[in-house]
Structure 1
Amino acid sequence: MMRPRLSTTEASLARENLAQRSALTLTLIVSMLVLTLMLTSCASSSNSTPGDRGENVTNSTDKQGDGQLRSDLEPLVNRFPALAAADSATWVSGTMGSSDVPGPSTYWIDAVIVLPPNEYAALKERATEAVAEQPEGFSGELAPAVPGGGLLGSAELDALFSQDGFSTTAVLVDDGQTLLLSSKFQ
């Protein structure tokens, strides 16, 4: 069966129509790709995934709190029994993210704890790695309370303070008495 031949004008119109539909389809595909990339990049930049030591666990801008420096030991000892012998502490706390988001809150505590020499020495046996910096996102309000000196930490030291649903980074300042804690929990 033979197809009827199109006139030159009809063939030209058919080619033009096909080119217009191809251009429209290409525009739609490119628009969808751009929209998908934009949505994907927005979603991935707003989410943080907890990880091992050294990964970005949280962005400090996600921490919400009143900025009130506290020095009472009882709330810390209730949450971290290993701090029962602490001499003193300076700490801040709050919630993660926005209070506008429904659901359970994730809470955080950042603390600078002064320990007696024997407690510090016991923790130092567990702190086997030199650490380059304070815990990720550690509260700037505590900077005046952090003494100078090298930093020591380890996964074992983190685990000691990460019980009962707490995710904690623990770092010792190599001054013989100071422990830094950055903890998150629900």
Structure 2
Amino acid sequence: MMKSKLFNVFKTVGKGMSLTLTHFFAASESRKVKSITDINYFSQNSGTTTIQYPHQKLPLPEVARYQLDVEMDDCIVCDLCAKICPVDCIEIESIKATEAIGKTSDGTTKRLYAAKFDIDMAKCMYCGLCTVVCPTECIIMTDTYDRSTLTLNEMVYKFSDMSASEAEEKRIALEKQNAERLASKQAASQPDKTKK
């Protein structure tokens, strides 16, 4: 009884060691990096699967979804991307302009300033919904997948280039315009006493 148990122990250890040694000697060569569309992609049975990153990189599929990027010149600050985001990783603050401030590349008139346009990539689940709803296609998914940082605060990407003082200037100009419109509306609604 004891001999059979001891035999099973050595047999099991022998199988494990032979498997380990097989992988150890097979790992002396590395696999060739192939495109995922290659017919023989899954046929490589030998060699180590580790690649020498960043010198070697795996090929990316065409439909890959990675880091977000925003072309602020095309953004109309419609807030649709922030509303559809399932994890609330997009934070937008808009300021209404006193007049049209330009046009996007597709000819859409811009009427809002982006005082804040932040995307927290640590929260982002790379679903791509924000890119689908964007009417001007200013928010896109790039092929960049590695932006390693030391702190989570560095994962918040700020796309708006408006400073706090510029944003305050725009707010004051809007308040002034709104006050002037209200005063002219009130003046127009009051009856003229000089006609009596």
User: Which TM-score band applies after superposition, normalised by the shorter structure?
Assistant: under 0.3
Q: TM-score, normalised by structure 2?
A: 0.22
**Greater fraction strand:** 1
